[in-house]
Chains A and B, each alone.
Chain A
Amino acid sequence: MNSLILSVGARFLTALFLLFSLFVLLRGHNSPGGGFIGGLIGAAGFVLYSFAAGVDAARRAVRVDPRAIGVWGMALAIIAGLASALASLDPFTGLWLILADLALSTVLVFDIGVYLAVFGAILTLVFALEETL
């Protein structure tokens, strides 16, 4: 696409999208948001970039094969689910680690896994579709 505004703007917007996606991912714990919507927003950033600069450039910008990102995300989500076996609780029960004001949990790990899985899956689909056109 030969639009000067888009190709200049896309660089900044992609960065902004990624930052915002992280914000949504972390905010998702107690408010609307979460891994799924975060992954969508992050992927949307790179999709926009691929419109502006082409799929090859977008693939280079992602650096890793999006399919691998998706699969690693799924692996992370499964590991988060398996972790509750250590505490002999039901599968996918959340485990918590409270460090002063900071509350960490396997739920967050699961959410990050979902984020990566969605991010990878969407980019795989969109890049593949754009390449066939």
Chain B
Amino acid sequence: MSWVLALPIMIPFVTAVLAFLLRRSRMGDLASVGGSAASLVVAVVLIAEVLDQGVIAGQIGGWQAPFGITLVADHLSAAMVLITAIIGLSVAVWSLAEIGPTSARFGYHALFQSLLGGVTGAFLTGDLFNLYVWFEVLLISSFGLLVIGGRKYAIDGAVKYVTLNLIATVLFLAGAGLLYGATGTLNMADLRGAVAASPDQGLMTLIAMMLMVAFGMKAAVFPLFFWLPASYHTPHYAVSAVFAGLLTKVGVYALLRVFTLIFVGDVGYTHEILLWVSLLTMLTGVLGAAAQSDFRKILSFHIISQIGYMVLGLALMTPLAVMGAVFYLLHHIIVKTNLFLIAGVSQRLTGSSDLYAIGGLYRTAPLLAALFIIPAFSLAGFPPLSGFWAKFVIVRASLDLGEWLVAGVALLVGLLTIFSMTKIWAEAFWKAHPEGRQPALADLPRSARWQMMVPIIALAVMTVVIGAFPSAFLEFATKGAEQLLDPAAYVAAVLGEARR
């Protein structure tokens, strides 16, 4: 039982070791792709187990919970691991075309794989301190990836990213330490009971707020998002694609986990804050995007506004809303990564990411234009794409609660998202290239064309499939939300039936 939980974490690290040792040859790149494929297989096995048996838990080293390190997979965790593996494989293939031998020798593939390992570990761990460790693992890898180009631009972005993320890290550590001091446990399932039984509920709320700030900073919610638009447009495109897809979502996942499993004692207070935070996050993100003229900067600001929707689902805390948040999380990772990959191809073809300096892609690269339409419309929430269902569920949930203002903001932000997507479309695809260049996909070397386009097509197909057959995915998300809101199965799987 434990192995199916441990392997998704171990495979990326084994791959990282191999990729590092082979970094001087082409074999290192292939090791990275092969390792990602193996991760995908294991992730599929894991999700099949979870669908079959419900929540599964395992102990590292055979030390029983709540003393040892616990790994747990419920529907949400298993789905996140699967999506991480999908994104990992797509970006690993895509980066073959972008990452040159210099970056590869510096250890790009090893860092990339250990980032994936850290993300997977964060999704699977059942222990708050272990979550901190995985956050650090992915943080250190992301630092390395951010500066790997070594350009002035990237150093500037990295300074802001590193400093602000370090503060969040220290806050997380402080919160975890105080929580241990107050309850005497760090196992998340055990914490649920311990926090509820604590005589000092005020202290619990204080710690909850510390963790909220720490995770919020990682998730880039309203007052704490400055680092994201300052840094995400600086590194390699493959790096920013995987960051955009996965890093902030780890923060959202942590919020979802901690504020449904552990801190549910004062929902009226904590979730009210989350509600206002999420509304402001959506608005500032989308308005920030409207003011930008760089392909990647627009997309970066849209990450922020989309994070708002997910946090909104958590803040409303009804089964439907949490289901919407889970569905949104899963759909968004695919869409956002794909948009960054498309931005990368566009930059490669036109030579710039400044929307005013490029153009003509619709005429010369119609395939890319068609592939851009799919995730862009999905992001904005057009039916019948995946984003429509995600937004629909969230808006529906807020209407059910009579939160008209919330629903109005969610719809308005969707509208403004269309504005940004239209801007990219008009500038990059529709208008002619200002210098009269005729960028075409055929200009790329044959191998690079395949390596870049196959992942984009695969992710676009997934978006369409989720949109066209939403019932299976919505059902899955419903099950995930049920497990989040009623964690009895989770607690029982970790601590055993005896302590239920």
Contacts and interface: CB of A to CB of B under 8 A. Distances in A.
Q: Do A and B contact each other directly (Cβ–Cβ < 8 Å)? A: yes
Interface of A: 67-68, 71, 74-75, 78, 81-82, 85, 89-94
A56 to B, nearest CB: 21
Contacts of B58: 90-91
Contacts of B103: none
21 contacts: A67-B20, A67-B107, A68-B21, A71-B20, A74-B16, A74-B17, A75-B17, A78-B10, A78-B14, A81-B6, A81-B10, A85-B3, A89-B62, A90-B3, A90-B58, A90-B59, A90-B62, A91-B2, A91-B3, A92-B6, A92-B61
Contacts of B6: 81, 91-92
Contacts of B161: none
Contacts of A92: 6, 60-61
Given A78-B10, A81-B10, A91 B17 contact: no
Nearest to A79: B14
Contact of A90 (B16, B61, B110): B61
B117 to A, nearest CB: 11
B108 interface: no
Interface of B: 2-3, 6, 10, 13-14, 16-17, 20-21, 58-62, 107, 110
Given A78-B10, A82-B10, A91 B20 contact: no
Contacts of B3: 85, 90-91
Nearest to A110: B61
A89 B3 CA distance: 9
Contacts of B16: 74
A112 B265 CA distance: 45
B300 to A, nearest CB: 30
B174 to A, nearest CB: 23
B21 A91 contact: no
B61 A91 contact: yes
Contacts of A85: 3
Contacts of B14: 75, 78
A107 B14 CA distance: 19
A92 B110 CA distance: 22
Contacts of B10: 78, 81-82, 91
A75 B13 CA distance: 8
Contact of B62 (A74, A75, A81, A93): A93
A74 to B, nearest CB: 6
A63 B454 CA distance: 44
Question: What are the 9 A-B residue pairs with the smallest beta carbon separation, nearest first?
Answer: A91-B6, A90-B2, A92-B61, A93-B62, A90-B62, A75-B17, A71-B20, A92-B60, A93-B61
B127 to A, nearest CB: 14
A78 B60 contact: no
Contacts of B2: 90-91
A77 to B, nearest CB: 9
Contact of B60 (A68, A74, A75, A91): A91
A90 B6 CA distance: 9
Given A78-B14, A90-B62, A91-B6, 8 more contacts: A67-B107, A74-B13, A75-B14, A78-B17, A85-B3, A90-B58, A91-B61, A93-B62
B61 A94 contact: yes
A131 to B, nearest CB: 15
B21 A71 contact: yes
Contacts of A68: 21
A78 B59 CA distance: 16
A78 B17 CA distance: 10
A64 to B, nearest CB: 12
Contacts of B61: 90-94
A52 B412 CA distance: 65
